[in-house]
Amino acid sequence: MKELGLSRVLEGAAHWLSDLPTTLAVIVSLLVGSGLSALGLLVIHPLLPHSVRSVHNDVSGFIFAGVGGTYAILLAFVAVAVWQNFAQIDSQVQSEANLVGDLYRDTVGFPEPSASRLRHYLFVYAEIVVQDEWPALAAGRADEAPGWQLMDKFHTELLQFQANDGSVGVMRADAIKTLNQLYDVRRGRFHAAISELPPILWWNLIGGAVILMIFTYLFGAPRLWMHLAMVSLLGALIGLVMALVVLLNNPFRGPNHVSIAPFHRLVKSVEEMAYPHD
């Protein structure tokens, strides 16, 4: 129960940070990282006198290099992983909009009135993504039912109209293939919205940062203010990279969310097309 409660606190803090303006989120991360690091040194300093710590600087430095290198690799691995995931989701959104646009144009070769109904379903689908699904994803909800209902109507209509010649049958088969690809990228978008980094990864990131900072306290610098400056800068750097991980790990929240521009362009292009959508 305690672990579950801590996980919820960390999740709430991550969502709160993601919803902040980017500049403010970076400033908060820098201040929290540097502040906690400096506070830790101020607590340790009277407990371990400078005379005790300074005589072990050589050994502490050797071990710190190994600990720092290990944590740097872990932090870099996580940062690259969340960035690649963010870029993949952005690409999926672009692919989803492209597939909807391809289907819309393919309906020109289908008989009426089925073609008009198919275009209407696709146009309403694009509007639902922009006006309903995207705000819901930004709020942490997955309201996907209306979009799937439109896709079901489109699929049913596509299969039911009569193909009077072989070319229409070939076009319908191609459209079904494109529709299946649309299903896949749509599922991927909703999966990405609810997926999170594994808890063990967060424990490694936070625990590694704590261990690394404790090692910095074991050095005996001649001047306390200089020691505070060094550990504060290191803490600020860790906080900055942590902010990167948090913001990119919430791809639909806050000002750093995945762009909805592909669907905005799709709706605009459809409105300007020669053949109607309703």
d(CA 269, CA 263): 10
Mention every residue, 6+ apart, whose C-beta is less than 8 A from residue 205. Answer: 74, 75, 78, 242, 245
Q: Who's near 228: CB < 8 A, 6+ residues apart?
A: 38, 41, 42
Tokens found for residue 242: 């942590």
What pLDDT, on a 0 to 100 scale, did the predictor assign at position 6?
55
Contact 182, 100 (CB under 8 A): yes
Tell me what pLDDT residue 2 has. Answer: 45
Please give the Cα distance from 92 to 251 (Å, whole number).
12
Taking the CB of residue 238, how many other CB atoms lie within 10 A of it?
A: 25
Q: What is the pLDDT of residue 136?
A: 85
Report pLDDT for 180: 92
pLDDT attached to residue 163:
66
- Give the pLDDT confidence score for residue 277 in this predicted structure: 59
- 119, 113 contact by CB (below 8 A): no
What does the DSSP assignment read for 203-271?
HHHHHHHHHHHHHHHTS--SSHHHHHHHHHHHHHHHHHHHHHHHHHTSTTSSTTSPP-HHHHHHHHHHH
pLDDT at 39: 92
Reference 39, options 217, 176, 192, 205; nearest CA is 217
* Residue 232, pLDDT score: 92
Q: What is the DSSP string of 33-53?
A: HHHHHHHHHHHHHHHS-HHHH
| Domain ranges for the chain | 2-271
User: 101: closest CA among 128, 115, 122?
Assistant: 122
pLDDT of residue 107: 84
Distance of CA 126 to the CA centre of its chain: 22
Local confidence pLDDT in tens for the 278 residues of the chain: 444 555 667 677 777 788 888 889 899 999 999 999 899 888 888 887 777 777 767 777 777 788 888 888 888 888 888 888 888 889 999 999 999 989 888 888 888 888 888 888 998 998 899 888 888 888 778 788 888 898 898 898 888 877 667 777 788 888 889 999 999 999 988 888 877 778 888 888 888 899 888 888 887 777 888 888 989 999 999 999 988 888 888 888 878 888 888 888 888 887 777 666 55
Q: Which of these, 19, 36, 17, lies nearest to 27 by C-alpha position?
A: 17
What's the pLDDT score for residue 32?
A: 92
